[in-house]
Amino acid sequence: MPTTRSKIDIIYQPIQSELGQVDQSLRNLGGSESQHIKHLLGYLFDRGGKGLRPALTLLSSKLFNNKVNHNAVTMATAVELLHIATLVHDDTIDDSSIRRGKQTISKRWDSNIAILVGDYVFATSATIVCTTGNLRVVHRFSETIMELSSGQLMEYLKSHDPTPNREEYLTRIYLKTASLFRTALETGALLSEAPESALKHLVDYGYNLGMAFQIVDDILDVEATEKEMGKSVGNDLLQGVLTLPTIIFLEENPNDDSIAKFFGSKGNPEHLKQIISRIQSSDIIERCYSEAQRYCYKAKTSLRNFPKSDALTSLEKLVEFVMERRR
């Protein structure tokens, strides 16, 4: 059975050389900056990552004329930069120690450096997008930065509120995750001058894939053991954040106050274990997977009118890949 890494390599095969260019562009950034800043950027960009978001831009562009538009390579670089900038600030807020196998910027240096490096990378991403010369793309990209930060802000402001609110959850995961998935697809297509109808289908695909991706992420946080995730389990609850599994748990147990108590206390690890274990032993996880599956189905459906191609096959396989992240 192929490993996760080799599976994704097969999916990325049609855009392998362009992904290499994106990687190279990232490594070349900050060339005109001082040694200190170059060193920081080098540290930040010399990290592995799934490269999922830039791959989406490249595959989307390649759907048209079976060729990745050269501006789509620039765009894919900007998309990855934006993702990295978001991670730098998120890790600072969550006080995380490790990202992509290396110390986070806020741990390796300090949170002030992390704020400023994040700002610099945000601005770099927006500047790079301008070189595509496509104002519609530039506008959508700026809007996406707004959506990402408003999603994070919403999550932080609502944290430690034990009232389940599914609608608010769906808005929040659109803003913090699906928005950039959508933009990755949308801009790749726009730069390949896709017709509006095709564009709409790719926007739908991106939205639905992003929603499924985040739901699976939220499931993994309560499902996996620490060893499997490479990070602590129940991290969302520790941050005071309700996600689909805990929202369903609260919907089904309206009089249960264990989460409210956990949010109200200093976060007793024993209580956390008990909540997680009650979720694991119920059918909640299966129901969350069904919800993710529904988004995946919609994502696949959005692709059905495109003519067969390598890029299309990869987009189809990515939908399965998102679901296969489960144990």
Binding site for a copy of itself (CB under 8 A): 33-34, 36-37, 40, 89, 92-93, 111-113, 115-120, 122-124, 126-127, 129-131, 133, 135, 138-139, 142-143, 145-146, 148-150, 152-154, 156-158
| Nearest CB to a copy of itself, comparing residues 156 and 306 | 156
Q: Nearest 5°: phi and psi at 78?
A: -65, -40
| Nearest CB to a copy of itself, comparing residues 191 and 275 | 191
Q: Please state the closest distance from residue 146 (CB atom) to a copy of itself, in A.
A: 4
| Nearest CB to a copy of itself, comparing residues 117 and 215 | 117
Q: Please state the closest distance from residue 72 (CB atom) to a copy of itself, in A.
A: 18
CA pair distance 143, 97, nearest whole angstrom = 29
CA pair distance 206, 241, nearest whole angstrom = 24
| Nearest CB to a copy of itself, comparing residues 85 and 319 | 85
Q: Please state the closest distance from residue 312 (CB atom) to a copy of itself, in A.
A: 31
Q: Please state the closest distance from residue 177 (CB atom) to a copy of itself, in A.
A: 16
Q: Please state the closest distance from residue 115 (CB atom) to a copy of itself, in A.
A: 6
Q: Please state the closest distance from residue 172 (CB atom) to a copy of itself, in A.
A: 10
| Nearest CB to a copy of itself, comparing residues 131 and 268 | 131
| Nearest CB to a copy of itself, comparing residues 130 and 303 | 130
Ramachandran region, residue 242 (left: φ > 0; alpha: ψ -120 to 50; beta: rest): beta
Q: Please state the closest distance from residue 213 (CB atom) to a copy of itself, in A.
A: 22
Longest dimension (CA), the chain: 59
| Nearest CB to a copy of itself, comparing residues 237 and 318 | 237
